Amino acid sequence: TLWWPIYGFFIWMIITGFSNAVNLTDGLDGLAISITFVTVSTLTVFTYLTGNLGHATFLGLIHNPAAAEVTIFCAALAGASLGFLWFNSPPAEMFMGDVGSLALGGSIATVAVIIKQEFLLGLMGGVFIIEMLSVMLQVASYKTTGKRIFKMSPIHHHFELLGWKETKIVFRFLIVAIFFALLSLATLKLR
């Protein structure tokens, strides 16, 4: 019973932190939603495997019978992400805003908590974590030394100021997100 308050605080930190990480990433056309699609698609695989007793047992996952419904939610979220990306790709006709990015981040983190993959979420959503860490490092460096590490944070704006085109940044970050997704799927057999 002593661990429940600690675990509750841990869950709160994950959901709050990941919501803000997605929000920080939403600074270029198509960036946050394309990475969200990759992350949610990976979570869809994990929720399906977690909800199936045979697969969960074989892969060493914690079986959760309710994960079947969560799989449908993740698949719907992935589909909605693709639909939104159609209008948010450069040049964007529609913007997500804080309401969308915070809700997506909270949804992704909540799914990870439900299927007990809180730590793996850091790998699945690695680009979001990198974006958040770039802001944290920039603020910490500026407050302690008065110097900036990056030209601007989050890090995608740093690359913008280096002269990279917006589409180049989005596609390169998407490639990194796919790499993190494949790496997290590889952990299924590395347990």
Range of the domain at 150: 3-186
**What residue has token string 């914690």?**
62
Q: 97-114 and 3-25 helices cross at what angle (nearest 10)?
A: 140
152, with CB counted inside 10 A (0-12, 13-18, 19+), is middle
Residue 132 domain flag: yes
Cα 11 from Cα 8, distance rounded (Å): 5
Contact call for residues 124 and 180 (beta carbons, < 8 A): yes
* pLDDT tens-place string over residues 31-64: 999 999 999 999 999 999 999 999 999 999 999 9
Residue 191 lies in a domain: no
| Rounded Cα gap, residues 84 and 40, in angstroms | 14
The whole-chain average pLDDT of the chain stands at: 94
Q: What is the pLDDT of residues 101-145, one digit of tens each?
A: 999 999 999 999 999 999 999 999 999 999 999 999 999 999 999
From CA 70, how far away is CA 119, in angstroms rounded? 18
Tell whether 65 is covered by a domain: yes
pTM here is 0.92
Residue 86 near residue 92 (C-beta atoms within 8 A) = no
Q: Is residue 159 part of a domain?
A: yes
Is residue 169 domain-resident?
yes
Structure confidence by residue, pLDDT tens digits, 151-190: 999 999 999 999 999 999 999 999 999 999 999 999 998 7
Domains in the chain: how many in total?
Answer: 1
- In this predicted structure, the answer to whether residue 191 has a pLDDT above a threshold of 90 is no
